[in-house]
Homo-oligomer: A and B are copies of this chain.
């Protein structure tokens, strides 16, 4: 997951892709790398402003667009809530969304998904590029609090 990536990984990949390395992009990348959960654009912008006070939402969105194109971040959309982003892990993962506290937990799928993807390819001729898997439910904490 994200914490295993070397610091500066994202901006490095941005540079490699031919994009310029700017203060705004560095700030966004740094915040993403240091985030332990999915963050929405506004939160991301607020954090980035601690590093680069002048940065604004437009630049955050523009940077996210690039990172997404490069497959470096992953966006989760839940209902009509604002999109939330996190550094994309190499393996597919399930996002567990608690409808009580709105937290998003991760569940790596690793090889679990491979057979399914092969099956889908064979069945539908559909070539999967990216997985956006959200399970909505109630997390352990909230469940526990309910019982009290």
Contact = CB atoms under 8 A, between A and B. Distances in A.
B136 A134 contact: no
A124 B143 contact: no
Interface in A124-148: 124-140, 143-144
B137 A126 contact: yes
A12 B144 CA distance: 35
A143 B127 contact: yes
A66 interface: no
A80 interface: yes
A15 interface: no
6 contacts: A77-B77, A112-B116, A128-B136, A128-B137, A129-B136, A129-B137
Given A77-B77, A129-B136, A129-B137, 15 more contacts: A75-B79, A77-B80, A96-B120, A96-B126, A98-B126, A107-B123, A120-B135, A124-B139, A124-B140, A125-B144, A128-B137, A132-B133, A132-B135, A133-B133, A133-B135
